[in-house]
A and B are shown apart, each in its own frame.
Chain A
Amino acid sequence: MTTKTISTETDSGAGAAKTGASSRWFRFNLWLHRWTSLIATVPFLVLCLSGTVLIFHEEIDDATGIVPTAQAADAPQRPIAEGIANVLAAHPGERALSIGIDPEHHPGVLLVVTAAAAETTFDHATLRFADLATAQPIGESDPAKTLTGFLLELHAQWFLGPLGEVIGALIALLVFLSLLSGLVVYAPYVKRIAFGVLRRGRGARLLQLDLHNFIGAIVLGWALVVTVTGFLLGFSTVAIMVWQATELGAMRAQAGRMAPVDALRPPADADRAIAAALAKAEDGRQVTSLIFPDTSFSTPRHYTVLLNGRSGIERRLFTAAIVDAGSGELTTYAEPPTYLKAIILSEPLHFGDYGGLPLKLLWTACTWLTLFITANGAWLWWDRRRRRAAKAPLEGVPA
């Protein structure tokens, strides 16, 4: 790579040497910025477009009625076990894998995740819903067949399962390297062109370069947050597998020495397990999920009950209560390991769905601006190649 190339890219012209644009460090970062960006361009465009829709997944899901509404959200509730029993009675041959309660977004609605009676994983699960006040089934949903479910599978897994998640992490890593190297490349530029100055009327290339640098500097902080959290989310399945092999594995080994329970009809029902977990709960934590015995997230003998706080960061982080499904007594009450906490907190920071509509609009604006500089960066590279190709035959002609 020549100094001439760098001068063209940064448009620092004669000032390049003065500002450090000819140093080996600068050239390495320019190379890194160019190629990490170009490799990531097409998948990143797909991520930006699908991500824009996913920012509004709550609104879209509500509008399309994926989760039914309870008739009387404030009415006294029937026992949760009754709601589960009624859902299973309507679907013979199925078992409950887990239940979910979300009083904030879906008041009065009980989510029952079911699958064929022999299933222990959530791979072929169906979401069914019951009204907490009447304990009667009120509908069902297949997340893979919804718009947001389809886009999430594209965005998070590229339709490739856990392998797709790791590919997503690799794309995030490329973008992260592009951002950091972009900052190094930006340094000599900003010493000559003040922040926010757009050189209009001096050709499309200079204007696009100024826009690229200007917008890149604006969205840098947001883009760093989204790429770092995207990288972490790429390892969510791996992290869960590590947790299953270590902490849950140890509990399973312990439970293996005890008599297993009938996972389809545990002696202690869901309400007893919830009561046992709530008796130990601190800081007003509430049960958000209960996983039945003998699944990939529980032991053959125990319920796994997840409790979340009511505000701030505690609303996102869960505490797991392991409850004996035979006796209904609490066995363990533990926080998730740090690596799982990091991944759990990455999700809201990646999708920007924790600050209401204003934050979602900010996320959308930053996504679209990033989309623009990704495309215009690719155009700048293509335009430079085109110009050099056009110039090359002329350089061979003797004066």
Chain B
Amino acid sequence: MSGRRTLWWVAARALIGAGGIVGMLLVDGGVGDGLLFLLAASPLLHGWWRWQRSRP
């Protein structure tokens, strides 16, 4: 992935995470809440996955 695309992806992932956080406040319980939590946690989960892949 090119540097510019990576940067856009970083910004998009931050927005997706923030969107999940705000969305959870708007939605109350149910499946939607769970999906929004996954969105909120997605930057962390993606980071974890990349970190695992980069380990020697």
Contact = CB atoms under 8 A, between A and B. Distances in A.
Interface string B13-25: 1111111011011
A349 B9 contact: no
Contacts of B16: 221
Contacts of A345: 25
Interface in A50-94: none
Given A220-B14, A222-B17, A359-B40, A195 B6 contact: yes
A218 B4 CA distance: 17
A127 interface: no
Nearest to B40: A362
Chain B: interface secondary structure?
Answer: helix
Interface string A173-187: 000000000010011
Given A195-B9, A196-B50, A355-B33, A224 B14 contact: yes
A362 B41 contact: yes
Interface in B1-55: 1-4, 6-7, 9-11, 13-19, 21-22, 24-29, 33, 37, 40-41, 43-44, 46-47, 50-51, 53-54
For the residues of A in contact with B, the DSSP-based class is helix
Interface string A157-191: 00000000000000000000000000100111011
Interface of B: 1-4, 6-7, 9-11, 13-19, 21-22, 24-29, 33, 37, 40-41, 43-44, 46-47, 50-51, 53-54, 56
Given A221-B21, A312-B28, 17 more contacts: A19-B3, A186-B10, A191-B2, A191-B7, A195-B6, A195-B9, A196-B53, A214-B50, A217-B14, A217-B47, A219-B43, A220-B13, A220-B14, A221-B43, A355-B33, A362-B41, A365-B44
